[in-house]
Amino acid sequence: MNRYKIKFLKEAELELKKLDKNLFIKVSKALVKVVADPLAYSEPLEQRMSMNLTGLRKVYVDNKRIRIVFLVVEERLFVLVVSVNRRDKGKVYQITKERIDKYNTLLQKLKDTKIEINDIFIT
């Protein structure tokens, strides 16, 4: 099995950095498992709170207090973390939807393997 690389939207990277040390470690450990086998270690998202999140996946951390939402880009063998947030009445889904809408053009480019990854503005 191929090991996936991990990329973050800049907002998700900031969310990760804002976590306290204990949560940061737990999220980091979960992400190690995700990159080893993203489909086996996560659940698919589809329709949530009347938002179409099809194609995204989620994994819980810290007794389901934290939700990591990501996109698996099979064409490039990487996982793109979209959001790392506390579960709060669907807030993470709203944030995720806003980011997906904001980066829609970029996300389409990710699947085009003719475009160099360095030309796409992701950390």
Q: What is the pLDDT of residues 11-66, one digit of tens each?
A: 999 999 999 999 999 999 999 999 999 999 999 988 766 788 888 999 999 999 99
Summarize pLDDT for 93-120 with one digit per residue, the tens: 889 889 888 887 777 777 666 666 555 5
* Residue with token string 């900031």: 14
Ordered by where they begin, the domains of the chain are 5-119 (3.30.2310.20)
For the whole model, what pTM was predicted?
A: 0.85
